[in-house]
Structure 1
Amino acid sequence: METEALLLEARESVEAARTYRRELQQRLKGLQLARQQIKESAALTRDVLEQHFNDLKGTLRKLLDERLVSLLQEVDAIEEESIKPLDECRKLIEQGVGTADELLREGETVIHGVTGEESDKLCSFTKKALHIQLDSLPEVPSLVDVPCLSAQLDDSLLTVVRNQIFNHGAVASRPPIQIEELIEKPGGIIVKWCKVDEDFVPQDYRLQYRKITASHFEDVYVGSDTEFIVLHIDPNVDYQFRVCARGDGRQEWSPWSVSQTGCSTLVPHEWTPGFEGYSLSSRRNIALRNDSQVGGVLYSRAPTYYCGQTLTFRIETVGQPDKKDSIGVCVAQQNGADSLQRDKAVCVSTNGAVFVNGKEMTNQLPAVTSGSAVTFDIEAVNLGPSNNNNEGGNFKLRVTIGSNNREVVFDWVLDQSCGSLYFGCSFSYPGWKVLVF
């Protein structure tokens, strides 16, 4: 017996050592992932910084070159405009010099060759000289009256640019926003995030996602809320999510959060296809009441609602309301019914009336409008007596229906236990479109 006890203790020690080793290996793997994140983010940050500053240098060089060309063109224009009248004056003076030279030669010839009989040549020369107006001289501007070009450069620009460059950019060890929680929904995932930098004042958030096998992220939400439900999620497929924020009064977005991977194992909610009165979207989660004369209740394809979940109906568009309109859940499909306002069903009419097993409650919710979301939260209160028949009809479900910040809470009594429920809707007139998730 003592040997068996020692053997049992030894086996327990071996199993404890095996578990301990497994836990340590998991921690080593976690450390390796953490180290990899630091190394990869540091390398990416270096690349981003180098690319950014290279772009800045190229842009600054281009801007400086463009400014230099502009100033040189301005110098050329002033030079050309100022030189033109001086060149015209020079031509006029040179013409005058030529005329004076010609007159000088002619006069010297006349003076040296004159005789008593050639007085008419002297007279002709004198008249010619008077006609030229030798006392009329062109006006030449003084140096103070003509442009004297210079470059006016403010060295303080270097100080301003230097200060701006020295304060440009920053390196953060952590993004200011991180994803806090991923909650699976049928055909969707609720993403919640929060800020981890107390000094950061967010104005807007930006959420992106992608399939784990895809190469690019897609924008799925931009706004001020700190949670969002991403719909059209394929079940049992891994998706990556990341979020960033824009600081108050700023245009640029913050660095992305550490991406988180999540998936939904829950079967997506789908409407039953082939019902003549309703047209469905490709994923069968949106139903549109068409103009067919055929009415009745459109049910879910299967009883995919389970207690403990939140079932949401979002009204995308509205049509003409009717008192028989209904949105809700039921124990089983009932063909031929024109509304969920019947036994073994709870529903809300489009005017806000709440019906339990076909009876209207005193409490009422606001009438639904375009964009309204009606939510159903159901919890089991008890499972009735221990016998299989559940006699006494005391199987209770605690139902909470919410719409437009109002809630109605009541106990729904059934005569038997129910593990899952169908959902459904009925609209008398066309135009109503409802999304379920």
Structure 2
Amino acid sequence: MMEIEVQTDLLQEAKESIEAAKSYKDELEQRLQGLNQARKQITESAVQTRDVLKNHFNDLKARLTKLLDERLVMLLQEVDKIEQESIKPLDDCQKLIEHGVNTAEELLREGEVAVCCGTAQEEKLGNFTKKALQIQLDSLPEVPSLVEVPCLSAQLDESLLSFVKDRIFSHGAIASRPPVQIDELTERPGGILVRWCKVDDDFVAQEYRLQFCKNSTCQFDDVYIGPDTEFVVLHIDPNVDYMFRVCARGEGRMEWSPWSIPQSGYTTLTAHEWITGCEGFSLSSRRDMALRNDSPSSGVLYSKEPTYTSGQTLTFRMEATGLPDKRDSIGVCVEPQNECDSLQRDKAVCISSNGAVFVNGKEMTNQLPCVSTGSSVTFDMEVVNLGSGFSDGASFKLRMIISSGNREVVFDWLLDQPCEALYFGCSFVYPGWKVLVF
């Protein structure tokens, strides 16, 4: 009996060792896969960097050659122009002198004939003498001296090569990793919150540039450029993979840094939508933006469904503002009440356009900044306790955090029954208010 138990224990131990060996093998194979991916990233990025360097320097050489050729042509044209402008007066002077020489030769021939005739041809001698006086043989044209005419030369700065050499040898750098990397991708309803951070402490970033694309297209598009280190990318289709990458511009620099390693992310949450058909509000095509129009109605515009749940962040961004009124409201509620003209009522939490916070219709002593164009109001909530035996008077408690600007209000909201999801809504007395929800 004892022998059987020993054999059973040995068999069990052997099976456990086999399972442990399988797990160990799987772990090693996963690490090998990770190692291969790391090696692939190094080799592929090296190949890509070589191509970028070659293309860049070949392009630089072509541009430099083109610039030098253009400058040479300009200088040669300048030489031609100076030569032509300087030669013209000399040509005019030469024509005048050559005309004088021809006139003098003709006069010489006439004089020699007249002299040969002697006194017998007194008339010819008189005509010759008169003609000689008319020609003004003592008047000679001015010929410029060599110092008075241009002497062309090329003025070339020999230090240019040294300057260019220094700039070339300091041009470009190789980075083993980008100075900025994506740190977190968090799904939002109809969007993804992208956070990034610097990984190079010596790099001083002036602004960042975020791009994204669908995995199926691989065509990256700019979605954000600015100083912030996070951004909510909206209009994301649910359950579709997107790629994100970020780069930075150093302080005082014009060029962008290398791109971060692309990160893949997706959202399973459908986008928040306002309900259609509410008089007093016009909606965008995606129904995530509402505009208070000129209609006299001043009721509350609610969400299509109760899509705001615990653990999420709900954001209202003011794209435009109208005249403020203390009855204005932006917030969340347990259920729609179409007969009410504001969320400043029971079973609702909201903020007015003047920054006042209302819980179940009662104004809190704490106040947030006034709502203005471009400002965002965010709601965060979490369940504090579900309670038990609600029929006995136990409460359902939600921890609410409302933020606007650089301030926030934190409080516990007591409800008389559990609530898995909330509606959101807004109301404005005057037209011109435009609010985006995400």
Q: Give the TM-score, by structure 2 length.
A: 0.92
- CA distance in structure 2 between the partners assigned to 1:212 and 1:97 by the alignment: 90
* Aligned residue identity for 2:312: Q
Q: Is 1:329 matched with 2:332?
A: yes
Q: Measured at CA, do residues 407 and 146 of structure 1 come closer, stay the same or move farther in structure 2, by a change above 3 Å?
A: closer
* Aligned residue identity for 2:66: K
Gaps (5+ residues) in structure 1? none
Partner of 2:308: 305
Q: Measured at CA, do residues 113 and 294 of structure 1 come closer, stay the same or move farther in structure 2, by a change above 3 Å?
A: closer
- CA distance in structure 1 between the partners assigned to 2:26 and 2:74 by the alignment: 71
Secondary structure of the residue aligned to 2:392 is coil
Partner of 1:40: 44
Q: Measured at CA, do residues 280 and 132 of structure 1 come closer, stay the same or move farther in structure 2, by a change above 3 Å?
A: closer
Shift of 1:141: 2.2
Match of 2:133 among 125, 130, 138: 130
Instruction: Indicate if the aligned counterparts of 1:309 and 1:378 stay in contact, CA closer than 8 A.
Output: yes
Shift of 1:221: 1.0
* Aligned residue identity for 1:131: Q
Shift of 1:324: 3.4
Listed one character per residue, the Cα deviations across residues 6-52 of structure 1 (whole Å, up to 9, x for unaligned) are 33323322222222222222222222222222222222222222222
Partner of 1:394: 395
Partner of 1:415: 416
Shift of 1:223: 0.9
* Aligned residue identity for 1:170: A
Shift of 1:336: 2.8
Partner of 2:256: 253
Q: Is 1:285 matched with 2:255?
A: no
Listed one character per residue, the Cα deviations across residues 87-119 of structure 1 (whole Å, up to 9, x for unaligned) are 2222222222222222222222333343x5333
Secondary structure of the residue aligned to 1:225 is coil
Listed one character per residue, the Cα deviations across residues 216-271 of structure 1 (whole Å, up to 9, x for unaligned) are 21111111111111111221111111111111111111111111111112232222
Shift of 1:319: 2.8
Partner of 2:56: 52
Listed one character per residue, the Cα deviations across residues 164-205 of structure 1 (whole Å, up to 9, x for unaligned) are 112111121111111111121111211111112222211111
- CA distance in structure 2 between the partners assigned to 1:165 and 1:176 by the alignment: 23
What pairs up with 1:217-366 in 2 under 5 angstroms? 217-366=220-369
Comparing 95-104 with 5-14, which one deviates more in the overlay? 5-14
Q: Is 1:14 matched with 2:18?
A: yes
Shift of 1:55: 1.8
Shift of 1:390: 5.0
Partner of 1:371: 374
- CA distance in structure 1 between the partners assigned to 2:292 and 2:123 by the alignment: 122
- CA distance in structure 1 between the partners assigned to 2:351 and 2:120 by the alignment: 138
Instruction: Indicate if the aligned counterparts of 1:390 and 1:416 stay in contact, CA closer than 8 A.
Output: no
- CA distance in structure 1 between the partners assigned to 2:139 and 2:428 by the alignment: 106
- CA distance in structure 1 between the partners assigned to 2:131 and 2:358 by the alignment: 125
Instruction: Indicate if the aligned counterparts of 1:400 and 1:409 stay in contact, CA closer than 8 A.
Output: yes
| Equivalent pairs, count | 434
Q: Measured at CA, do residues 13 and 291 of structure 1 come closer, stay the same or move farther in structure 2, by a change above 3 Å?
A: farther
Comparing 84-93 with 248-257, which one deviates more in the overlay? 84-93
Q: Is 1:434 matched with 2:438?
A: no
- CA distance in structure 2 between the partners assigned to 1:84 and 1:364 by the alignment: 87
Q: Is 1:382 matched with 2:385?
A: yes
Q: Measured at CA, do residues 19 and 275 of structure 1 come closer, stay the same or move farther in structure 2, by a change above 3 Å?
A: farther
Shift of 1:365: 2.7
Comparing 91-100 with 252-261, which one deviates more in the overlay? 91-100
- CA distance in structure 2 between the partners assigned to 1:290 and 1:411 by the alignment: 35
Match of 1:84 among 80, 84, 88: 88
Match of 1:155 among 155, 158, 181: 158
- CA distance in structure 2 between the partners assigned to 1:77 and 1:17 by the alignment: 89
Partner of 1:405: 406
Q: Measured at CA, do residues 346 and 4 of structure 1 come closer, stay the same or move farther in structure 2, by a change above 3 Å?
A: farther
* Aligned residue identity for 1:24: L
- CA distance in structure 2 between the partners assigned to 1:85 and 1:362 by the alignment: 94
Q: Is 1:28 matched with 2:62?
A: no
Listed one character per residue, the Cα deviations across residues 145-181 of structure 1 (whole Å, up to 9, x for unaligned) are 2222222222111111111112111121111111111
CA-based RMSD of the aligned residues comes to 2.1
Comparing 159-168 with 346-355, which one deviates more in the overlay? 346-355
Q: Is 1:180 matched with 2:189?
A: no
- CA distance in structure 2 between the partners assigned to 1:137 and 1:87 by the alignment: 16
Gaps (5+ residues) in structure 2? none
Secondary structure of the residue aligned to 1:165 is helix
Q: Is 1:193 matched with 2:196?
A: yes
* Aligned residue identity for 1:413: L
Comparing 403-412 with 64-73, which one deviates more in the overlay? 403-412
Q: Measured at CA, do residues 110 and 353 of structure 1 come closer, stay the same or move farther in structure 2, by a change above 3 Å?
A: closer
Q: Measured at CA, do residues 296 and 104 of structure 1 come closer, stay the same or move farther in structure 2, by a change above 3 Å?
A: closer
Partner of 1:170: 173
- CA distance in structure 1 between the partners assigned to 2:380 and 2:128 by the alignment: 124
Listed one character per residue, the Cα deviations across residues 275-318 of structure 1 (whole Å, up to 9, x for unaligned) are 33322222222222233344433222222222122222222222
Secondary structure of the residue aligned to 1:159 is helix
Q: Measured at CA, do residues 368 and 78 of structure 1 come closer, stay the same or move farther in structure 2, by a change above 3 Å?
A: closer
Secondary structure of the residue aligned to 2:260 is coil
- CA distance in structure 1 between the partners assigned to 2:313 and 2:304 by the alignment: 18
Q: Is 1:68 matched with 2:69?
A: no
- CA distance in structure 2 between the partners assigned to 1:118 and 1:35 by the alignment: 117
Comparing 8-17 with 187-196, which one deviates more in the overlay? 8-17
- CA distance in structure 1 between the partners assigned to 2:429 and 2:261 by the alignment: 48
Q: Measured at CA, do residues 164 and 360 of structure 1 come closer, stay the same or move farther in structure 2, by a change above 3 Å?
A: closer
Shift of 1:346: 1.9
Identity %, equivalent residues: 70
- CA distance in structure 1 between the partners assigned to 2:249 and 2:188 by the alignment: 28
Q: Measured at CA, do residues 422 and 11 of structure 1 come closer, stay the same or move farther in structure 2, by a change above 3 Å?
A: farther
* Aligned residue identity for 1:263: Y
Partner of 2:426: 425
